[in-house]
Structures are given as structure tokens and as C-alpha cells.
Amino acid sequence: MTDHIQLSNSALSAGPDDLSIVMRGVTKIFGPDPQAALALLRQGKSKADVQAKTGHVVGLDNVSLDIERGQIYVVMGLSGSGKSTLIRHVNRLIEPTAGEIVVNGEKVLDMTMAQLGDFRRNRIAMVFQKFGLLPHRSVIDNVAYGLETRGVNRAERLEKAAHWIGIVGLSGYEKSRPRQLSGGQQQRVGLARALAMDTDILLMDEAFSALDPLIRSGMQEQLLDLQSSLNKTILFITHDFDEALKIGNRIAVLKDGAVQQVGKPEEIVLNPANAHIEEFVRDVNKARAIHIRTIMEKGVFEPCEVAMPADARCEDVLPCFDRHEWVGVLDDAGSQIGRVRARQVIRALARYNGQP
């Protein structure tokens, strides 16, 4: 491909090599004359001002993101914050007004329509809030759809589709029609359809938002489970802060089309950048957001009777205090690097509740 930009060749800058998706100054304005509105926006006018003056809606306002390979990157925002607009820029379902988007080292905006089709067929898969299944096809033909557009022969694509249907737990439903399935099952079909593409990048647009809470939580766990073996780059959109904390390696908070804060889940919980984010944080289950690594007593102690990995969250260690005073903290290799006790956990939770 001609428009391959070399973010990666320099051995000195190992950093960009790990970047799967890069957005730089991406701005999207909806309306008949976006350039005029863009000029106003560049002068520092707010989204509301631009809308009042020109009638144009600012979808995204100068968004820059660096999404590392193998991460689950969550973009969180309320409705109207531009998060669905944002994710559609990655595979150019929406054309930006300004900015640059690089996926796997390729400039998405420089692609011709043919190259873009190729890119969508081979490099990137997507899961939708409203599922977007083809109602006139059976489950297995839906899952095989992406492979079909890629031109994979029938026997091979059905075999792959059957494999992924099994993995998402829908074996036995191959011949069903989407409408015969529940919402959760339909979204499993959507997920299997995207996974069957076997792409490095998975876009998930509020994929679990339309589901019942219990089913949603089950799907979240299944996604984390799958991710531990697949190691894809997942861009996940949600309006649910709890969901963002649960599955995100990194979270970007979006408001009025602009990025408010980017960080690890606990960074955002512990240090919300502004009042808007603080509002989310206030209602959040902090026991889920805070890892014991951040509150442990570091040092060498005698081994504790129970131990947890450093990535464990406060809610995971709480039950241990029923029987034990100390819980050991283990690094990836399994050696104890510190310990926590109930008081530290309680202090951490209480502090971030805003009490003295």
C-alpha cells in the first residue's frame, strides 16, 4: 500500500510501534458548511456557541488518542458526547472534517474507496449496539458474513463460523434466525461475527448497552476471558462508567465531543480531572476500581496465608478478611511483593468517597 506511513521503522522510537490506533486532532462538524463552523471552533468558541451561531453540530472537537496494541481502550461519555461518532472514524464510516487517523501504520483518510473496502474486510471488525444482524440469514451465515465479503470459500467460512459460534456459547443455534434469539444471544452472534474476521482490531460500539444488567455482566466477563487469549486491540464505547472500569485498561472520558481525561481506570477514579468526571466517580463502585497494588504495604514480609495478584481489586480481597488479617500481594511471577489489611482497604474506599 502506498500510503504506509513509517511510524515504526526507527529502532530508537519503540513507542509508536506499539500503537494500533492513533487519532490526531480529529474534528467532526455536522452540517452543510463544516469549514465555516470549524473556523469558529478554532477561534475557541464552544460547541454551544458554534451551534447557536451556525446551526452546525460539533460531533468531535480536536480529539487525539493513542491506543496501544493489545489494550482494551474504553471511550466513556453520556449520550451526545460524540463517542459513537468517534468510533466510526476509525473505520471511516464517518469522514472527519479535520484531523488524522492512523491504524496499524496506515493513514485511513488517504485510502481510496477500494483500499478502504479492503481495509474494512481485512483489518478491522465491529460490533454494534443494535447488533446489525442480517435478519434474512441464519446465525451461521451471519457469523460467516465478514468472511464471505472477504471471498473465503463456503466450506471454510462455515467451519470458522461454527468454531466461533461454539466459543460464544451458541452451539445448536446455527440454523436459527436472529429474531428467534434473545438480545444477549443476538449480541453473541454479533460478537462471533466480528471475532470470525480474526482481525487485530475490534471496535465495539456500546455493544452491551442494549442488554439486561445480568446478561451484560456475563458478556463483559466473556469479553475479558476472550481477550486474555486473543490479545486484540479493542476500542470499546460505553456510557456506563462501571462497565468502563470493569473492562478498560485505559479510559478516555468524552464530553461535548472533546476528550476530558485519559488514564488508567484508577487514575480517573482517584484523580478526576474536572467536575464532570467527579460526578461519574461519585456513584461508582470504588471497590471495583481500585487495585490493591496502589494501596498495599510494599516490602518483604513473611508469606501470608492467602495472597492475591497485584491486579486484584479491593472487592476481590474483601472476602478474605473474613478469616485472615493480612492478604499477600503477588507480582506476575507469583512472588510476594507486599501485603494489605482490611484497614487499608477501608481507608482507601472511605477516602475516595469524599469523606475526611
Partner 1 sequence: MFPELIDTRPLRRAVDDGLGWVVRNWGGELEAAAHPLLVLLNWIERLLIATPWWLFIGFFVGLAFLATRNWRLPLVVFLGLVFLGLMQLWRDAMITTALMIAATLTAIVVSIPVGVGMSRSERARHMVTPVLDLMQTLPSFVYLIPTVMIFGPGKIPALLATIVYASPPLIRLTDLGLRNVDPAVMEASRAFGTSSTQRLFGVQIPLALPTILAGINQTTMMALAMVVIASMIGAGGLGYQVLQGIGRLEVSRGLFAGLGIVALAIVFDRITQAYGRRLQERIGVGEVR
**Binding positions for partner 1, rule: CB under 8 A:** 91, 93, 116-122, 125-126, 128, 130-136, 145-146, 149-150, 177-179, 186, 197, 203
CB 228, min distance to partner 1, A: 25
Q: 113-117: long-range contacts (C-beta < 8 A, 24 or more apart)?
A: 115/1, 115/3, 116/92
CB 19, min distance to partner 1, A: 22
Residue placing its CB nearer to partner 1 in the complex, 122 or 285: 122
- Give the number of other CB atoms < 10 A from CB of residue 234: 25
Distance between CA 115 and CA 252 in Å, rounded? Answer: 29
Give phi and psi for 205, each to the nearest 5: -95, 100
CB 73, min distance to partner 1, A: 18
Q: Which of 311, 281, 312, 299 is nearest to 339 (CA)?
A: 299
CB 323, min distance to partner 1, A: 48
What is the three-state SS of 83-129? HHHHHHHHCCCCCCCEEEEEECCEEHHHCCHHHHHHHHHHCEEEECC
Question: Which DSSP category does 55 fall into?
Answer: -
Say if residues 33 and 54 touch (Cβ distance below 8 Å): yes
The cell for 269 is 477514579
Distance between CA 30 and CA 15 in Å, rounded? Answer: 34
Residue placing its CB nearer to partner 1 in the complex, 120 or 291: 120
Helix, strand, coil abundance in the chain, percent, nearest 5: 40, 25, 35
Number of helical (H) and strand (E) elements in the chain, helices listed first: 15, 14
Report the chain's C-alpha Rg in angstroms: 22
Residue placing its CB nearer to partner 1 in the complex, 203 or 259: 203
Residue placing its CB nearer to partner 1 in the complex, 87 or 337: 87
Residue placing its CB nearer to partner 1 in the complex, 88 or 339: 88
Residue placing its CB nearer to partner 1 in the complex, 9 or 149: 149
Order the strands of the 106-107 sheet from edge to edge: 57-68, 19-30, 98-103, 106-107
- Collect all residues with Cβ–Cβ distance below 8 Å to 322 and sequence separation of at least 6: none
Residue placing its CB nearer to partner 1 in the complex, 190 or 265: 190
CB 179, min distance to partner 1, A: 3
CB 70, min distance to partner 1, A: 22
Residue placing its CB nearer to partner 1 in the complex, 208 or 352: 208
Order the strands of the 336-341 sheet from edge to edge: 297-298, 336-341, 326-330, 307-309
Residue placing its CB nearer to partner 1 in the complex, 18 or 198: 198
CB 58, min distance to partner 1, A: 22
- Collect all residues with Cβ–Cβ distance below 8 Å to 185 and sequence separation of at least 6: 170, 173
